[in-house]
Amino acid sequence: MKEIRTESVDRLFKVISGLSSVEECYSFFQDVCTVNEILDMAQRFDTAVMLYEGENYIKVAKKVGISTATISRVNKCLQNGNGGYRVAIEKLKAEENA
């Protein structure tokens, strides 16, 4: 497996974490990614949120329009990954409840 922790990735993540608005994120990601890459990431995050909330694969597949194989990968990361989805979802939930 390729090593993700590199100087270039550190710099990229620092830039992303420094973006201060949704509009800045739109501008940056539209320059860096294809539209499909952005939409795929959004689908995966929507999938993670639904799984976190206890939805089953069939309901997620129908609502998000994503394959069960991808749902399974997202669920694996949600359950046994590095905690990235969980941290992001919990921050989103806290923001929505504030």
Rounded Cα gap, residues 12 and 79, in angstroms = 26
Residues 14, 51 within the same domain: no
Largest Cα separation within the chain, whole Å, is 40
Rounded Cα gap, residues 89 and 71, in angstroms = 16
- What CATH number corresponds to the domain at position 49? 1.10.1270.10
The pLDDT score that the predictor gives to residue 22 is 97
pLDDT band for 53, please (50, 70, 90 cuts).
Answer: very high
Query: Whole domain around residue 68: which residue ranges?
Result: 34-97
Of the two residues 3 and 37, the one the predictor is more confident about is: 37
pLDDT > 70 fraction of the chain, expressed in percent and rounded: 100
Residues 2, 15 within the same domain: yes
Residues 47, 91 within the same domain: yes
Residues 10, 20 within the same domain: yes
1 has a pLDDT exceeding 80? no
Residues 24, 69 within the same domain: no
Residue 51, classified by CB atoms within 10 Å of its CB into exposed (0-12), middle (13-18) or buried (19+), is: buried
Residues 55, 74 within the same domain: yes
Tens of pLDDT along 2-35?
889 999 999 999 999 999 999 999 999 999 999 9
Select from 82, 1, 92 the least CA-distant residue to 42: 92
Residues 69, 82 within the same domain: yes
Domain count, the chain: 2
